Structure 1
Amino acid sequence: MGDKETRNERVYLGIRTEILSGKRRPGERLATAELTKTFDSSVGVVRESLLRLSERGLVQVRPMQGFFVADVSLEDLHDLTEARLDIETLALRYSIEQGDAEWEARLVGAHHLLSLTHRHVDGAVERFTADWGKAHGAFHAALIDGCRNRRILSVAQRLRDSAELYRRWSVEIDPYQDRDIEGEHDALLRAALDHDTDRAVALLVEHIQKTQEVLRQGF
């Protein structure tokens, strides 16, 4: 990766982190002038990063107004969950059918890291640590990473980004409360490695639906 690509990626990831960490609220205007100062970058690089984030569903482009953090709503959460159940499970099917030994190794590694990462911020059981959120996202990305259809995979990953925004803002409670979330992840890993596609898909559907039901209660 060249110096230009590295700088562009730094700005893109920086803005993305600010959105998913809660520093930028849903519906908040993202002023390019401010962001160029924050990330010591050019207007062109910032605009390119915001456009990339709009493709990921984290930023909205409003004609004649500019860029804004994506809004959250009950109706959109329903649509998002419905789309994830269709697309993410399809990506998982392909991933299990097409994944090779390297995919299995990446999946095992991602699960191991997740299992070792502390989930809650000290003194705030309703809040995730940034490291756990990153490891959790990496595990779910690894589950479908064996899928060779890049378009399906791209859509699935974009939907997961939007789901992260909802997880942060729907309600400040742990959407995995009263659940054996480690057990859910363990079961998903085992089913994927056993190439038990139907069981893996059923487990992922249940996993997504349970989380959506808790997030729903935050509105």
Structure 2
Amino acid sequence: MARGAGQQTRSETVHDRIRADILGGELRPGQRLKFPELSERYGVSTGAVREALLRLTARNLVSSEAHHGFRVTEVTSRGLADLTDTRAEIESLALRRAVEQGDLTWQGQVLAAHHTFERTPMGDPEHPSEDWSVAHADFHTTLLAGCPNPRLRDLAASLRDEAELYRRWSRPPPGPGEPGDDLAAHDDHRDLLDAVLARDAGRADAVLRRLIGMTATMVLDTGPDG
């Protein structure tokens, strides 16, 4: 029993480390993920690596093909368009349910998460600080935490993970305008907060869709300096 628990802990640890390396750009889109190399890199068994990669495949950060093994998910213009469309539908549905059914404790948590996000310096708009990115992600995660359907929340979280992968390998579009969902103006997030606190599901839906839609303007950049 203890051995099984230890194996599970190791698998969760390597899952978190591989996920962080993918979202942080250490492992590039399309890069092959070989068991021996990953086992040595993270100091775990190939079994723990396999389990972690299977979990990451379910979250669309890793892809698997018969006879070709595992790779970091490719980022493509078509993939970005499909992801943006899917996120708009799924996250909006989860947010509507959160606004309609979330309790006062949840509203307080949303307010606190927004407070942290709003007061965290972004740094370079093209490459926001790690603290800003974490605060931004936490605000959106907290928004959807009021949805009572755990499967819907998990699906939304998976889509946001994939969106983070695209953000890492994208840059703002040329010319004036918002540079993308993660770089949207604080005013948009304040509008979203106000709609949630007012229990205005329709307005919250509209603001969230606008924020998500900004990702469609991002320019993919997977070059060596990306």
Same-fold status (TM-score > 0.5):
yes
TM alignment of 1:1-219, pairs within 5 A:
3-120=6-123, 124-171=124-171, 175-176=179-180, 181-213=185-217, 215=218, 217-218=219-220
Per-residue CA deviations over 1:39-74 (Å, capped at 9, x if unaligned) read 111111111111111111100011111110000111
Q: What's the CA shift for 1:38?
A: 1.7
The residue type equivalent to 2:166 in the other structure is Y
CA distance in structure 2 between the partners assigned to 1:35 and 1:43 by the alignment: 8
- The answer as to whether partners of 1:99 and 1:146 remain within 8 angstroms in 2 is yes
Unaligned runs of 5+ in 1: none
User: Counterparts of 1:20 and 1:92 in 2: how far apart (Å)?
Assistant: 24
Identical positions, percent: 42
What is the CA-CA distance between 1:81 and the residue it aligns to? 0.9
Q: Secondary structure at the match of 1:67?
A: strand
Relative to structure 1, the CA distance from residue 205 to residue 145 in structure 2 (aligned partners, 3 Å threshold; closer, same or farther) is same
Give the match's secondary structure for 1:148. coil
Gaps of 5+ in 2: 222-226
Cα-to-partner distance string for 1:142-165 (whole Å, 9 max, x where unaligned): 111111112221211111111111
Question: Does the 8 Å CA contact 1:127/1:172 hold for their aligned counterparts?
Answer: no
Q: Bigger CA drift: 142-151 or 6-15? A: 6-15
Q: Is the 8 A contact 2:15 2:49 kept in 1?
A: yes
CA distance in 2, matches of 1:218, 1:50: 24
| Helix, strand or coil at the partner of 1:60 | strand
Give aligned pairs, total: 212
Equivalent position amino acid for 1:155 in 2:
L
Q: Please list every run of at least 4 consecutive aligned residues from structure 1 whose deviation after the TM superposition is greater than 6 angstroms.
A: none
Contact 2:63-2:70 within 8 A present in 1 as well:
yes
TM-score between the two structures when normalised by the length of structure 1: 0.89
Is the contact made by 2:39 and 2:45 (CA closer than 8 Å) also made in structure 1? yes
TM-score by structure 2 length? 0.86
RMSD: 2.0
Q: Render the CA deviation track for 1:72-105: whole Å, top value 9, x for unaligned.
A: 1111111111111111100000111111122112
- Read off the aligned partner of 1:60 and give its amino acid letter: S
Query: In structure 2, do the counterparts of structure 1 residues 110 and 6 end up closer, same or farther at CA, with 3 Å as the change threshold?
Result: farther
Label 1:9 to 1:116 Cα distance change in 2 as closer, same or farther (>3 A): farther
SS across alignment from 2:126: strand
